[in-house]
């Protein structure tokens, strides 16, 4: 009984790991979850006010394109051509992720403004001079 339990304990983790890899004709197929943020793995078509969510719409369109590319690869008969097709899908998805990350980074930099604005060592504004001039001309002194 102990041997059966030990054998089961060893095989179960391997079965769980093997479940994530989908193969057709011995060629492993790319999985959508490998290319998408976890919040958008099961993204649905945005409807109603959801259409205003550009991020969800972007990931939904990417999902549609990914599924179409995978179906096109599945239709290929030759194993090495199918492998090449899957590799092209992976490269396209990695490039799209790289482009998306660069776009998000550029938007964040644009929102924050130039880094010179946040440099605390910048002495271009003579605050002391402004304060001296301000105190010199008080409204009650102007007659």
Q: What pLDDT was estimated at residue 46?
A: 87
Q: What pLDDT was estimated at residue 27?
A: 72
Other Cβ atoms less than 10 A from the Cβ of 45: the count is 12
> Residue 109: is its pLDDT beyond 60?
yes
Q: pLDDT over 90 for what percent of the chain?
A: 41
28: helix, coil or strand?
Answer: strand
> Residue 15: is its pLDDT beyond 60?
no
Say if residues 36 and 59 touch (Cβ distance below 8 Å): yes
> Residue 49: is its pLDDT beyond 50?
yes
* Mean pLDDT over each residue of the chain, to the nearest integer: 75
**How far is the C-alpha of 76 from the C-alpha of 70, rounded, in Å?**
10
Q: What pLDDT was estimated at residue 72?
A: 95
pLDDT in tens, 66-91: 999 999 999 998 889 999 999 999 99
Q: What pLDDT was estimated at residue 5?
A: 39
Q: What pLDDT was estimated at residue 30?
A: 95
**How far is the C-alpha of 114 from the C-alpha of 128, rounded, in Å?**
25
């Amino acid at each position: 009984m102990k041997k059966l339990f030990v054998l089961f304990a060893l095989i179960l983790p391997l079965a769980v790991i093997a479940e994530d890899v989908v193969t057709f004709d011995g060629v492993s197929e790319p999985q959508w979850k490998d290319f998408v943020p976890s919040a958008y793995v099961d993204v649905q078509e945005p409807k109603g006010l959801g259409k205003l969510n550009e991020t969800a719409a972007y990931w939904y369109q990417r999902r549609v394109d990914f599924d179409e590319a995978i179906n096109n690869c599945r239709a290929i008969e030759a194993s090495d051509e199918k492998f090449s097709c899957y590799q092209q899908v992976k490269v396209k998805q990695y490039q799209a992720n790289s482009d998306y990350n660069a776009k998000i980074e550029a938007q964040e930099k644009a929102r924050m403004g130039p880094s010179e604005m946040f440099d605390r060592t910048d002495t271009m504004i003579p605050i002391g001079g402004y304060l001296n001039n301000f105190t010199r001309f008080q409204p009650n002194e102007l007659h």
